[in-house]
């Protein structure tokens, strides 16, 4: 079975024709604060949060509320542009900036900020935050662009720091993913993939097949397969038994993969910079594409898709470079409950 899977995934699939899908558009004309959308998450009430180049947008299915930085309000956003959003198991919304992290306080309708304090060992390890994820115990994990990994204990709000002192290059981290086995996968700028070992509190390179590549996306599929997208080296999946990454050859080298997700039918959605979507049917081997066409009113808004979210109703939300948010609804879609 494993051999069959490897043959299926590593073979060069035939590229199909462009797949026609109907997308709804959510952009500045509908109240979005900016058409440049960096990240999208859904909270436990079903609301959609969208990080843009001009603030944070909260969408209840009908209206959009925008949060921005206000120099006279310390509970406002720390800045209007930020790198990542995370919705944890408790329903809390977290933001990662080039200036620390923030937590949304729904009671005060504002934000609590956490920044590095050189005189406090329990503060966040660096203000240059690149990504945020959670483990099964509810702990928050934060990657930084210059000083490695840290963990937030939400019961004390103390941070534990885990820089890789043995190999400082590993501290230039870009993307995080905590899988179902509570393994923290860390995508680096220059040194492939790391795994953080909880027991020994050390990093382990898992670079068989990914050496020296910049990692742009890490995703765990429903079947447990770890997919990795790179900036120039194509798309890979991890084979547990051989402990190596195997290239998925139908995604050509030289293309920058921006993000990965999976729809309810088990198709892998691969966003490629300036190329739109490659949708991989893992059962039939078919690969179809979805790209921007100015003559199609209900297509995607831009060929660079920064983020993809599959929501709790299995609809697919695309945050684009300058085309706002594009929403693909499955049948029997229901709007989130109004605020």
Query: What pTM was computed for the model?
Result: 0.91
130-171 pLDDT per residue, tens:
999 999 888 899 999 999 999 999 889 999 999 988 888 899
Average pLDDT over residues 272-289: 90
Residue 40: name the closest of 259, 210, 257 by CA: 259
Assess whether pLDDT exceeds 90 at residue 259: yes
196-229 pLDDT per residue, tens:
887 788 888 888 778 788 999 999 999 999 999 9
Check residues 305 and 199 and name the one with the higher pLDDT. 305
Q: What pLDDT is stored for residue 258 in this prediction? A: 97
Ranking 1-10, 160-169, 263-272 by mean pLDDT, the lowest is 1-10
Q: What pLDDT is stored for residue 94 in this prediction? A: 98
Average pLDDT over residues 329-335: 66
Q: What pLDDT is stored for residue 199 in this prediction? A: 77
Assess whether pLDDT exceeds 90 at residue 2: no
- 20 pLDDT band, cuts 50/70/90, is low
30-83 pLDDT per residue, tens:
999 999 999 999 999 999 999 999 999 999 999 999 999 999 999 999 999 999
Assess whether pLDDT exceeds 80 at residue 12: no
Q: Please, what is the Cα angle at 284 between 282 and 287, to 5 degrees?
A: 70
Assess whether pLDDT exceeds 50 at residue 11: no
């Amino acid at each position: 079975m494993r051999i069959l899977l490897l043959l299926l995934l590593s073979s060069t699939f035939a590229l199909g024709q462009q797949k026609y899908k109907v997308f709804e558009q959510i952009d500045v004309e509908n109240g979005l604060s900016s058409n440049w959308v960096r990240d999208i998450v859904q909270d436990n009430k079903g609301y959609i949060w969208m990080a843009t180049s001009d603030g944070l947008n909260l969408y209840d299915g009908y209206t959009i509320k925008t949060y921005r930085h206000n120099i006279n309000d310390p509970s406002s956003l720390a800045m209007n542009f930020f790198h990542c959003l995370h919705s944890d198991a408790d329903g809390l919304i977290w933001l990662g900036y080039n200036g620390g992290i923030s937590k949304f306080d729904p009671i005060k309708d504002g934000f609590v900020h956490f920044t590095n304090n050189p005189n406090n060992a329990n503060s966040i390890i660096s203000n240059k935050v690149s990504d945020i994820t959670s483990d099964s115990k509810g702990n928050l994990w934060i990657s930084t662009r210059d000083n490695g990994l840290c963990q937030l204990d939400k019961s004390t709000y103390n941070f534990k720091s885990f820089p890789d002192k043995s190999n400082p290059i590993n501290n230039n981290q870009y993307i995080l993913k905590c899988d179902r086995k509570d393994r923290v996968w860390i995508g680096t700028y220059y040194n492939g993939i790391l795994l953080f070992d909880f027991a020994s509190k050390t990093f382990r390179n898992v670079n068989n097949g990914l050496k020296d590549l910049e990692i742009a996306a890490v995703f765990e599929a429903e079947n447990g397969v770890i997919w990795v997208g790179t900036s120039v080296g194509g798309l890979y999946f991890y084979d547990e038994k051989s402990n190596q990454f195997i290239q998925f050859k139908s995604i050509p080298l030289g293309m920058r993969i921006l993000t990965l997700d999976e729809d309810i039918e088990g198709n892998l959605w691969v966003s490629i910079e300036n190329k739109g979507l490659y949708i991989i049917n893992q059962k039939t081997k078919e690969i179809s594409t979805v790209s921007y066409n100015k003559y199609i009113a209900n297509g995607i808004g831009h060929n660079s898709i920064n983020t993809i979210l599959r929501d709790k109703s299995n609809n697919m939300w695309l945050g684009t470079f300058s085309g706002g948010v594009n929403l693909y609804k499955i049948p029997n879609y229901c709007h989130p409950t109004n605020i």
